[in-house]
Amino acid sequence: MHEDGTTKGEPMAARSGMRAFGRIRKLPSGYFQAGYVGPDAATHYAPHTFEAKVDAERWLADEHRRVGQPDWLPPKLRRAHEEANLPPTLADYAAGWLRSRDLKPRTRALYQGLLDRFIVPELGSVRLPAVTPTMVRQWHTSLGPNRPTQRAHTYSLLRSILSTAVQEQIIPMNPCLIRGAGAAKRKTVTEPATLDELRVIRENMPERLRLAVDLATWCSLRQGELLELRRGDVDIAAALLHVRRAVTRLPGEPPLVGTTKSAAGVRDIHIPPHVLPAVEHHLSRYVPPAKDSLLFVGRDSGEQLASSTLYRWFYPAREAAGRPDLRWHDLRHTGNHIAGAAGATLADQRYRMGHSTFAAAMRYQNTAKGRDKIIADEMSKMAGE
For 240, the 3-state DSSP assignment is strand
Instruction: Look at residue 20 in the predicted model and tell me its pLDDT.
Output: 80
In CATH terms, the superfamily for domain 195-382 is: Intergrase catalytic core (1.10.443.10)
Cβ-based neighbours of 301, under 8 Å, separated by 6 or more: none
Long-range contacts (CB closer than 8 Å, 24 or more residues apart) made by 13-22: 19/60, 21/60, 21/63, 21/64, 21/67, 22/60, 22/63, 22/64
Instruction: Look at residue 187 in the predicted model and tell me its pLDDT.
Output: 60
Instruction: Look at residue 19 in the predicted model and tell me its pLDDT.
Output: 66
Separation between Cα atoms, residue 357 and residue 363, nearest integer Å:
10
Does the pLDDT of residue 6 top 50, yes or no?
A: no
Separation between Cα atoms, residue 350 and residue 353, nearest integer Å:
5
Does the pLDDT of residue 291 top 50, yes or no?
A: yes
Residue ranges of domains in the chain: 12-84, 90-167, 195-382
Cβ-based neighbours of 293, under 8 Å, separated by 6 or more: 230, 231, 287
The 3-state secondary structure of 257-287, one letter per residue = EECCCCHHHCEEEECCCCCHHHHHHHHHHHC
Distance of CA 254 to the CA centre of its chain: 20
**CA-based radius of gyration for the chain:** 33
Q: Output 185 or 254, whichever has higher pLDDT.
A: 254
Which DSSP state fits 88? P
Helix 328-341, helix 307-320: angle, nearest 10: 60
For 167, the 3-state DSSP assignment is helix
Q: What is the pLDDT of residues 92-138, one digit of tens each?
A: 999 999 999 988 888 899 999 999 999 999 999 999 999 999 999 99
Q: Residue 355's pLDDT band (boundaries 50, 70, 90)?
A: low
Separation between Cα atoms, residue 97 and residue 215, nearest integer Å:
37
Does the pLDDT of residue 5 top 50, yes or no?
A: no
Residue 8's H or E segment, with its range, is none
Q: What is the pLDDT of residues 40-78, one digit of tens each?
A: 999 999 989 999 999 999 999 999 999 988 888 899 888
Residues designated catalytic: 222, 329, 332, 355, 364
